[in-house]
Each structure stands twice: as structure tokens, then as C-alpha cells.
Amino acid sequence: MAERGLFERALGLEWPWRVERTEFDAAERRLDLHLDFEAGGTFACPSCGRGGCKAHDASPKRWRHLDFFQHRAYLHTGTASSSGSARGSPTA
């Protein structure tokens, strides 16, 4: 299994999410996983729950995850807005 596929399975990612790239620094004891979603991917609206909403205006975020053995692990991704509410207004 390829490295990115291993992390995708371990994190429980499903389409449209994927691991875009990884950075491992043994000296710093750090693992960085950069996540992204496939172009054209759709999401459920966080406000109304309606599915099939396109994402836009992603802003970068970083989260500390559980350690990967003795290495600090960080997830990097963009959180996107979607126009999923019944009113059609952007939600994040």
C-alpha cells in the first residue's frame, strides 16, 4: 500500500478527501499530513445538512492530531465555505 493510501485509511478519509502530501522530520519528531479535497467534490451543508453542495473559498487551517508513535502529528487542510443552506447563503 502506498504511503498516502495508508494515511487515508488510518484517518478514515472518504471521497472527496485525500492526503495530498506528507512531510516527515525524524530529527524534529514531527509528521505533517496535508489534506485536500478533489475538485468538484461536494459536501453536506453544516447548517441545514443538505448534501451535494460545492465548496469554495477554502482558508488554510492546522490541527494537532494524536501522536504517530513518538512523533507529533499535524493535519493541514483548508476549511471551505459552501452554499448549502436553503437560503443559498454561504456557510462554513
Tens digits of residue pLDDT in 13-57: 998 899 999 999 999 999 999 999 888 888 887 778 888 888 776
Decide if pLDDT at 91 tops 80.
no
pTM beyond 0.85: the answer is: no
With beta carbons less than 8 A apart as the criterion, state whether 58 and 38 touch.
no
With beta carbons less than 8 A apart as the criterion, state whether 75 and 33 touch.
yes
Tell me the C-alpha distance between 45 and 3, whole Å: 31
Tell me the C-alpha distance between 65 and 9, whole Å: 15
Q: 32-69: buried (b, 16+ CB within 10 Å) or exposed (e) per residue? A: bbbbbbeeeeebebeeeeeeebebeeeeeeeeeeeebe
Tens digits of residue pLDDT in 51-75: 888 877 678 999 999 999 999 999 9
